[in-house]
Amino acid sequence: MAEHAMYFSDAAALRRYKIKTTVLRVLLYTFLTIFALFMLVPFIFMITASFIDADAFNTFTLYADFSKLGFENWTFNNYAQIFSGTYLDNLGNVVKRPSFAQYFLNTFIVAIGSTIVTVVTAVLAAFAFARLEFKGKNLLFTLLLATMMIPGEMMVITNYQTTIMLDWKFTFAALIFVHGVSVFYIFYLRQTFQQIPNELYLAAKVDGVGDIGYLIKVMVPIAMPTIMTIIILSLMGGWNSFIWPTLVANGGWKYNKSYDMRLVSNGLMSLFSSDIAKGQDAIKVAGSMVVTAPLFVFFLIFREYIMRGVSRSGIKG
């Protein structure tokens, strides 16, 4: 009798555990679904609205008529105006402005250039702090980390003065080299380099391999997931930069005033503040889509490298 009672007691406890687990799982997935909808619905709406004819979109915003979002009102005219630089104002007049293709080219040059400089400086500095021995290394690294406590906005004035002193205003050098050193990336990569056994470095020294050779042949391949993470984040940062380009490159190129140096974020803001954008909300949404979509797709493609780099840097040994 006691064995039967224990059996039924265990079965009841198991049933209660399963019910509790099922309820918690349903609640969890319900919360995640609602949260995902909050994140995805505005993005889906932006994609849909970017293809809507301007008149239909204005009617939708006035009366919330969702039928205006149907495929029968879709058009590529908004994107055609953005990439051609030829817009129609509220009076139907043709207005010529720099195209987003030019802004894309500028952003591509700045993002790639600043990423190359950032990766080179981060790799060399992280290797020095992780493997080389020199006087004051720990103190210098501590001072370097202390600069992370300084808000970036406080560095804008000194960086701007340096740019003026070097006569770099309205040049790509001002846009590229200001992001050339990142203390966070140096610290991040140093943590990965420190996980590589020091015996490999000593063995390389015995075999006559120099520091640069050891760095390129051993440390860089091992730390490639972390370096890929730095590359991806640096590219995203270069793409999203707004304040600094507004200060030093919000106009014509120094060597050719007719060439507009603005990046995609600055070009989008200039579109929002221009007279042609008044009453042209569909063009604004299309411009936002043009700026957002490439970065979103880029993140989806390379998100595994980011996760792999983060997990690797958090494991010691």
Each residue of 242-275: pLDDT tens digit? 888 888 888 788 888 888 888 888 888 877 776 6
> Within this chain, do residues 105 and 200 fall inside the same structural domain, yes or no?
yes
Residue where a domain terminates, one of 50, 72, 96: 96
pTM: 0.77
> Is 231's pLDDT higher than 70?
yes
Most confident of 4-8, 102-106, 288-292, 298-302: 102-106
> Within this chain, do residues 132 and 69 fall inside the same structural domain, yes or no?
no
- What's the rounded Cα separation, in Å, for the pair 181 and 118? 5
Q: How confident is the model at residue 150 (pLDDT cuts 50, 70, 90)?
A: confident
User: In the chain, how many domains are there?
Assistant: 2
> Within this chain, do residues 70 and 203 fall inside the same structural domain, yes or no?
no
Residue 86's DSSP bridge partners are 96
> Within this chain, do residues 38 and 144 fall inside the same structural domain, yes or no?
no
Residue where a domain terminates, one of 77, 96, 115: 96
> Within this chain, do residues 187 and 42 fall inside the same structural domain, yes or no?
no
Q: How confident is the model at residue 101 (pLDDT cuts 50, 70, 90)?
A: confident
Range(s) of the domain holding residue 256: 100-313
Q: How confident is the model at residue 117 (pLDDT cuts 50, 70, 90)?
A: very high
User: Among 57, 37, 55, which Cα is nearest to 289's?
Assistant: 57
User: Residue 178's CB: how many other CB atoms inside 10 A?
Assistant: 23
Output the pLDDT for position 259. 85
> Within this chain, do residues 121 and 220 fall inside the same structural domain, yes or no?
yes
> Within this chain, do residues 69 and 131 fall inside the same structural domain, yes or no?
no
- What's the rounded Cα separation, in Å, for the pair 36 and 279? 31
> Within this chain, do residues 132 and 232 fall inside the same structural domain, yes or no?
yes
- The more confident residue out of 72 and 285 is 285
Distance of CA 91 to the CA centre of its chain: 38
> Is 118's pLDDT higher than 90?
yes
